[in-house]
Homo-oligomer: A and B are copies of this chain.
Amino acid sequence: MSSHSTHANPVLVVGSVALDSVETPFGKADEVLGGSGVYFSSSAAHFAPVQLVGVVGDDYPIESLQPLAAKGVNVAGLERASGSSFRWRGRYRHDLNSAETLETHLGVFSNFAPKIPEQFRSAPFVFLANIDPRLQLQVLEQVDKPRLVACDTMNFWIESRRPELLELLKHVDLITINDAEARQLTEHTNLVKAARWILDRGPKHVLIKKGEHGAFMFTNESVFFAPAYPLESVFDPTGAGDSFAGGFFGYLAATGDLSDQNMRRAVVVGSAMGSFAVEKFSNTRLLEITRSEIDARVQEFRQLVSFDAELVV
Q: Interface residues, chain A, CB within 8 Å of chain B?
A: 5, 8, 47, 94-96, 189-193, 196, 210, 213-214, 216, 222-227, 230-234, 251, 254-255, 257, 261-262, 264-265, 267-269, 295, 298-299, 301-309, 311-313
Contacts and interface: CB of A to CB of B under 8 A. Distances in A.
A261 B94 CA distance: 35
A306 B222 CA distance: 11
- In the complex this chain forms, how many copies of it are found? 2
A127 to B, nearest CB: 18
Contacts of A299: 309
Given A213-B210, A225-B230, A225-B304, A309 B191 contact: no
A110 to B, nearest CB: 35
23 contacts: A47-B313, A95-B189, A190-B231, A190-B232, A193-B232, A213-B213, A213-B214, A214-B227, A216-B230, A222-B303, A224-B305, A225-B304, A227-B227, A255-B313, A261-B308, A262-B312, A264-B307, A265-B311, A268-B307, A269-B311, A295-B311, A298-B309, A302-B307
A142 to B, nearest CB: 28
